[in-house]
Amino acid sequence: MSSSERIGIASGALESDERTPLLRQPEDDGSSGISEESSISERYTPLPKLQLGVCLLIQFAEPITALCIFPFINQLISELDITHGDKKRVGYYVGIIDSLFFAVEAITVLQWSRLSDHIGRKPVLMIGLFGLTISMICFGLSRTFWTLVISRCLAGALNGNIGVMKSVTAELTDETNIAQAVSLMPVVYASGSTIATFMGGVLSRPSDRFPKVFGGDFWKEYPYFLPCGVAGAFSALSCVATAILLKETLPKDKRALPPSSHSTVQNSPTTRHRHTPNIHPDTAVSLRDLIHNRAVMISATNYGFLALLDEALFALIPLFYSTPVALGGLGFPPSTIGYCIGAFGVVNGLFQAVFFRTIVERFGSRAVFRLSMSVFVLIFGLFPVMSWLVRRETGMSWDVWAVVGLQLCLLVIMDMGYGCIFIFITEASPNPQSLGATNGLSQTVASIVRTIGPTLSTSLFAVSIERNLVGGNAVYILMIALSLASIWLAGRLPDEVSLRSKEDWNRSVEDVD
């Protein structure tokens, strides 16, 4: 961790009353020659491996259930004859399916997160895993558009795990090891993405690929149940593991009291579990005051832009890959789509595990986050390049594959943004009893824009092709414009976050009391 991350938020970005260093300065005890960095190094807290492992297992279920449908969703929509044979309209319905989960989640995720502040994290996580299990089974058995809709809505309504998992991770760590824990989260998601996309591509239509094992009528009637069923089974096993192994990170005596008139928040950046005199340490901050907290809203808005662009991108990639060359795509079958996105997952997982923590400590959270948002411009700009190359070469040649590989490598850089923004959101929580609500509010913002993202990109992709807008490239121009706006917004984040230890938090509460 660089010293700049522990000193505080730079004075130039904040008002005058927000310039005080947020960490306590060490008292002069005759050991002034010992640096603050050495002090933190000496009191490094080892990660609780089993508990963090269970938490990461829960997170692993998210990409498994969310991304396993990507390699075959376009083909499924076509086979259900929803578009009546018009392949140009597939993008509209794919966007709706991709967005439904986040639309319903946007309505419910904040309530699940706030509920976890009061009843604990573990029961909410188990409900979410159970919801994922049921929804995936229903999705695999769906043979109409409306049953697909109901399945995705069910997943969004019951799954509040995204925000709650971040609260658990924050509660399992302190300022000495949070960077290490955060560095594992992209690895888990990348690994899950790799397995999910590989599974969705390889296990789809098993009666065609493995007729000796899956030759029955059931597999012909439900050709995409196998990847959905495997994803649902994994969620069920994760639920059992959570029930047996996970310890509650928010004990009863630490749970939030209902918000009161005394639980107000000043309109200034806060630090991790930072206590202010007018916030009772055992009282949950009201939603109204949380929304008026500048640090919370700046972090949440940046998270929203990252989620919007990321979700739009990952809905666009399989659609672009599967679209025929004559219509501006690459014409890949589901298996090739699975291999490409799976390769990204492998590279991404290795990169985040080896380099993320070092890069953040060397350059700082905000600089890395701004870099992550900047590469979106290049990523979206490469789509028309690939389309032009594949038409010029009349097929996939080495230069087309080189651009595909370059785009996937840029995705690795982009993915570092999630670990960085998680640190900013955690530090913005007004007090420990509001951590779930803070993560829930941020996740609500992300879920709302994730509802828009897939529909926006896939629908505009279809319109661009159907009406030949800007040569079929209108979707990429809009995404590049949004990417440029996100770079400006990232500059509104504080220069650096200040990670505060649990001991410092406890002392500050004692001082006020």
Tell me: pLDDT of 116 over 80. yes
Task: Give mean pLDDT, residues 438-450.
Answer: 82
Q: Which of 114-118, 137-141, 221-225, 369-373 has the lowest mean pLDDT?
A: 114-118
Burial 126-144 (b: 16+ CB within 10 A, else e): bbbbbbbbbbbbbbbebee
**Closest C-alpha to 408, from 379, 444, 449, 369:** 379
Would you say the C-alpha torsion 464, 470, 473, 479 has a positive or negative sign?
negative
Tell me: pLDDT of 238 over 60. yes
Would you kindly state where each structural domain of the chain is located, as residue ranges? Answer: 47-252+265-512
Asked whether 228 and 70 are in contact (CB, 8 A), the reply is no
Q: What is the pLDDT of residue 377?
A: 95
Task: Give mean pLDDT, residues 453-471.
Answer: 83
Distance from C-alpha of 38 to C-alpha of 335, rounded to nearest angstrom: 51
- Band (pLDDT 50/70/90 cuts) for residue 277 is very low
State the first-to-last Cα distance of the chain, in angstroms, to the nearest integer: 31
- Band (pLDDT 50/70/90 cuts) for residue 491 is confident
Q: What is the pLDDT of residue 433?
A: 67
Query: Taking all residues of the chain, what is their mean pLDDT, rounded to a whole number?
Result: 77
Burial 467-496 (b: 16+ CB within 10 A, else e): eeeeebbbbbbbbbebbeebbebbeebbbb
Distance from C-alpha of 336 to C-alpha of 508, rounded to nearest angstrom: 56
Tallying the residues shown for the chain, one arrives at 513
Would you say the C-alpha torsion 153, 201, 412, 454 has a positive or negative sign?
negative
Task: Give mean pLDDT, residues 157-171.
Answer: 80
Tell me: pLDDT of 274 over 60. no
Structure tokens at 319: 């659609």
Distance from C-alpha of 395 to C-alpha of 389, rounded to nearest angstrom: 8
How many other CB atoms sit within 10 Å of the CB of residue 34?
Answer: 12
Would you say the C-alpha torsion 364, 367, 370, 372 has a positive or negative sign?
negative
Tell me: pLDDT of 220 over 50. yes
Q: Identify the burial level of 2 via C-beta atoms within 10 angstroms of its C-beta, where 0-12 means exposed, 13-18 middle and 19 or more buried.
A: middle
Q: Where are the beta strands (DSSP E) in 26-143?
A: none
How many other CB atoms sit within 10 Å of the CB of residue 101?
Answer: 24
Q: What is the pLDDT of residue 483?
A: 94
Q: What is the pLDDT of residue 36?
A: 40
Q: At which residue do the structure tokens 């599967």 appear?
A: 322
Phi, psi of 457 (to 5 degrees): -75, -45
Architecture of domain 47-252+265-512: Up-down Bundle (1.20)
DSSP code string of 107-120: HHHHHHHHHHHHH-
Distance from C-alpha of 322 to C-alpha of 28, rounded to nearest angstrom: 65
Tell me: pLDDT of 155 over 70. yes
Tell me: pLDDT of 425 over 70. yes
Distance from C-alpha of 378 to C-alpha of 411, rounded to nearest angstrom: 10
Q: What is the pLDDT of residue 432?
A: 66
- Residues 6 or more apart from 483 whose CB is under 8 A from it? 309, 373, 374, 376, 377, 380
Tell me the pLDDT tens digit for each residue of 283-325: 666 777 778 888 888 998 999 999 999 988 988 998 888 888 8
The dihedral formed by the CA atoms of 321, 323, 325 and 326, expressed in degrees to the nearest 10: -160
Q: What is the pLDDT of residue 83?
A: 72
Between the alpha carbon of residue 457 and those of residues 31, 99, 124, 227, the distances in Å are: 58, 11, 32, 25
Task: Give mean pLDDT, residues 483-509.
Answer: 65
- More confident of the two residues 376 and 398: 376
List residues bridging with 283 in a β-sheet: 257
Distance from C-alpha of 338 to C-alpha of 330, rounded to nearest angstrom: 14
Q: What is the pLDDT of residue 446?
A: 82
Local structure of residue 31 (DSSP, 8 states)? -
**Confidence (pTM):** 0.66
Asked whether 115 and 256 are in contact (CB, 8 A), the reply is no
- Residues 6 or more apart from 412 whose CB is under 8 A from it? 344, 347, 348, 351, 352
- More confident of the two residues 5 and 189: 189
- More confident of the two residues 269 and 188: 188
**Closest C-alpha to 129, from 59, 225, 228, 229:** 59
Tell me the pLDDT tens digit for each residue of 24-57: 333 444 444 434 444 444 566 788 889 889 988 9
Distance from C-alpha of 389 to C-alpha of 399, rounded to nearest angstrom: 8
Distance from C-alpha of 103 to C-alpha of 172, rounded to nearest angstrom: 30
DSSP code string of 175-213: TTTHHHHHHHHHHHHHHHHHHHHHHHHHSSSHHHH-TTT
Task: Give mean pLDDT, residues 176-204.
Answer: 78
Asked whether 355 and 475 are in contact (CB, 8 A), the reply is no
